[in-house]
């Protein structure tokens, strides 16, 4: 898409990443992040509550299932927390149970109790967001801990992701939500699966595939989506022939709302801004100014926004977490209030719809604070 800036050189050293994060944090009163739960302590609590001793991450709010997404988030957090033991347990469980023992296979997205009473894969389809997070965490851990076996697994997954979960749509390389979407018309697209900071890492580690082109095309597609809709939707669709946004298939209209998938985007864009100084990320983040303005005015945000503007009565601490880094640069005085909302929603002990899938909310609240604190970081260059 014309008008998009050329892809800048990524910021790869940990020192530079921490310096950029410090610049974000400088916008915030020192007590705002300090008053939140220490990230290492929060990670240990998460492991105790959600990760079995064998490395399976359990979604207690959804029939005790395990998802590739949950495994992926645990790998990323274990890497950032320098928790090698938990990382390896989660990796091995994922390989043995979601990848059929083959570390290069894209993992099944859903595992749990089956109709016959056994436990195992419930849905063998892969989800590209989880696959990207897993490959990226493996790359990061490989560099930090000198584990060439992790790097080999990451690169084998990278090839499978490129071959099975990307495609050409009207001349633009496009991330599909999973292999199941190959050949679909219209082409399903989940904006929050697009993670340019991961594509940049893969462009360095896996030069056999044009991941840099995926950065540029993904930003062009995000630009089209965020120009058309007041807030980015969880799902949208591109015409397979022209590449233009098109109406959703019948029955899918509700997916055009801004909800638990799309709420990840401000964090994703903030990470690419912090680590690669992306002008495209900076420009697209401005689409979330209305959310920041509403929080500044009301002190709360509804968890979701339907396309017609309808909102629920409950909040989401995951959304607050995803907004924290951008909030720190725009309305820094509001960060302590958002952290307080996160803590209140976590600690009040009540079961409320605000929490949604509990492990999911917990991860995104943590990710937001980790990016502010400089704990979240990009992959080091080999």
The secondary structure of the chain in percent helix, strand, coil, rounded to multiples of 5, reads 55, 10, 35
Q: Which regions in the chain score pLDDT beneath 70?
A: 1-37, 347-357, 382
Cα–Cα nearest to 57, from 103, 105, 109: 109
- Alpha-carbon distance of 172 to 214, in angstroms, equals 8
pTM of the model: 0.91
What pLDDT is stored for residue 13 in this prediction? Answer: 43
What pLDDT is stored for residue 2 in this prediction? Answer: 30
Q: DSSP 3-state assignment of 236?
A: strand
What pLDDT is stored for residue 359 in this prediction? Answer: 86
- In the chain the domains, ranked by start, together with CATH numbers, are 14-373 (1.50.10.10)
Catalytically active residues are: 69, 129
Q: DSSP 3-state assignment of 56?
A: coil
What pLDDT is stored for residue 357 in this prediction? Answer: 60
What pLDDT is stored for residue 19 in this prediction? Answer: 46
What pLDDT is stored for residue 84 in this prediction? Answer: 98
Whether residue 121 contacts residue 98, with contact meaning beta carbons closer than 8 Å, is answered with yes
């Amino acid at each position: 898409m014309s008008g998009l800036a050329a892809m800048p050189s990524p910021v790869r050293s940990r020192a530079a990443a921490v310096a950029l994060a410090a610049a974000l944090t400088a916008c915030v009163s020192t007590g705002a992040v300090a008053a939140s739960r220490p990230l290492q302590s929060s990670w240990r609590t998460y492991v105790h509550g959600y990760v079995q001793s064998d490395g399976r991450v359990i979604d207690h709010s959804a029939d005790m299932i395990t998802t590739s997404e949950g495994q992926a988030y645990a790998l990323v957090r274990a890497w950032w927390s320098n928790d090698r033991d938990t990382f390896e347990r989660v990796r091995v469980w994922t390989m043995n149970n979601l990848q059929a023992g083959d570390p290069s296979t894209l993992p099944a997205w859903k595992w749990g109790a089956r109709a016959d009473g056994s436990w195992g894969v419930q849905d063998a389809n892969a989800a590209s967001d989880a696959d990207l997070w897993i490959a990226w965490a493996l790359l990061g851990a490989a560099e930090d801990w000198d584990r060439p076996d992790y790097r080999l697994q990451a690169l084998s997954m990278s090839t499978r992701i490129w071959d099975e979960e990307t495609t050409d749509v009207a001349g633009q390389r496009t991330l599909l939500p999973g292999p199941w979407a190959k050949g679909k018309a219209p082409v399903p697209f989940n904006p929050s699966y697009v993670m340019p900071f991961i594509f940049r890492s893969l462009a360095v580690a896996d030069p056999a595939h044009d991941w840099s082109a995926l950065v540029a095309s993904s930003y062009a597609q995000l630009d089209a989506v965020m120009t058309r809709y007041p807030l980015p939707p969880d799902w949208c669709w591109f015409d397979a022939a022209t590449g233009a946004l098109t109406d959703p298939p019948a029955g899918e209209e509700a997916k055009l709302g801004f909800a638990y998938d799309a709420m990840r985007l401000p964090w994703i864009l903030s990470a690419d801004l912090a680590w690669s100084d992306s002008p495209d990320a900076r420009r697209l983040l401005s689409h979330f100014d209305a959310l920041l303005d509403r929080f500044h005015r009301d002190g709360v945000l509804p968890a979701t926004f339907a396309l017609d503007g309808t909102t629920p009565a409950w909040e989401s601490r995951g959304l607050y977490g995803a907004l924290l880094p951008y909030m720190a640069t725009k309305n820094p005085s509001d960060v302590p209030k958002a952290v307080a909302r996160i803590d209140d929603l976590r600690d009040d002990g009540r079961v409320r719809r605000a929490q949604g899938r509990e492990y999911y909310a917990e991860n995104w609240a943590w990710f937001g604070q980790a990016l502010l604190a400089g704990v979240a970081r990009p992959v080091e260059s080999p």
